[in-house]
Amino acid sequence: MSFARVLAIMIPFLLAAQLPVAAEPERPLAITISLETYEADVLWNASGQYLIFNGTLTLDDPIQREIDVSLFMVAPAGWSATCSPEVHKFHSAGERSFTCNYRMADVRGNMTANITVQGTAYWRGDVVATNQSSPFTVHVTRLPVEKFYNTSNPHKIDFTTRLENIWPHLTVLAVLVATVAVVTVVWRWRRKRKDRAPKDLISPPSE
């Protein structure tokens, strides 16, 4: 095989070896929002009171820039909800804890409501990442529930007194009211009867 033919075969391979290799795409900045719990059971008369749950914000930035992450909550119409703190500053990848406060609107019956925590990451005023948490579900019921606290659901809350605990007090009160009413009626009847009785004639004084 001639040298020219060998060279003609080798040149394409040499040129291919000199081509730049495509760089692996850089991992983008990402934020993750996780909640401590995703469910709560409350009674309808908890409206007007502030309830809370906690969460964690995680930032992954390969370049390790100075990033500001703003958090806000999306709640049902008429409910109010805020995160504290609302803005988290990162100088590198890491985690931040936050607390969510929500307040129910007036509820007159059973319902299920979802709340989400949304986050937006900024670098020099530009949005570089967004994300949101899984829904936090609030089960609202009109029925009294047993007040308890346990590790499986520490957000089980009861804002009323069980009906069976009230009945003895209501029974005693009803008996007292009935007794007073009967005594009052008997006293008035006796008084009217006494007033209607004929009075004795007054005899003239003897001389």
Give me the chain's average pLDDT, please. 79
User: Per-residue pLDDT for 152 more than 50?
Assistant: no
User: Per-residue pLDDT for 32 more than 90?
Assistant: yes
Q: What secondary structure, in 3-state letters, does 162-179 show?
A: CHHHHHHHHHHHHHHHHH
- How far is 76 from 185, CA to CA, in rounded Å? 56
8-state DSSP, 159: -
Tell me the average pLDDT across 162-166.
55
State the residue for tokens 């009626």: 185
Each residue of 40-66: pLDDT tens digit?
998 887 777 889 999 999 999 998 899
List the 50-60 sheet strands across, edge first.
30-35, 50-60, 94-103, 80-84
With CA atoms as reference, report the closest residue to 156 among 50, 45, 37.
37
- Percent of the chain past pLDDT 90, that is, above it, reads 42
8-state DSSP, 64: -
C-alpha dihedral sign at 136, 137, 138, 144: negative
**Domain edges within the chain:** 30-160, 162-193
Distances (CA, A) of 113 to 42, 146, 150: 11, 21, 23
Tell me the average pLDDT across 121-147.
86
State which fold the 30-160 domain adopts. Answer: Immunoglobulin-like (2.60.40)
Q: Higher confidence at residue 183 or residue 59?
A: 59
Concatenating the DSSP letter of every residue in 89-151 gives EESSSEEEEEEEEEE-----S-EEEEEEEEEEEEETTEEEEEEEPPPEEEEEESS-------S
Least confident interval from 22-26, 51-55, 102-106, 133-137: 22-26
pLDDT of residue 147: 47
Tell me the average pLDDT across 85-101.
94
- How far is 108 from 207, CA to CA, in rounded Å? 87
Least confident interval from 18-27, 69-78, 94-103, 188-197: 18-27
- Percent of the chain past pLDDT 70, that is, above it, reads 70
C-alpha dihedral sign at 103, 107, 110, 112: negative
pLDDT of residue 80: 93
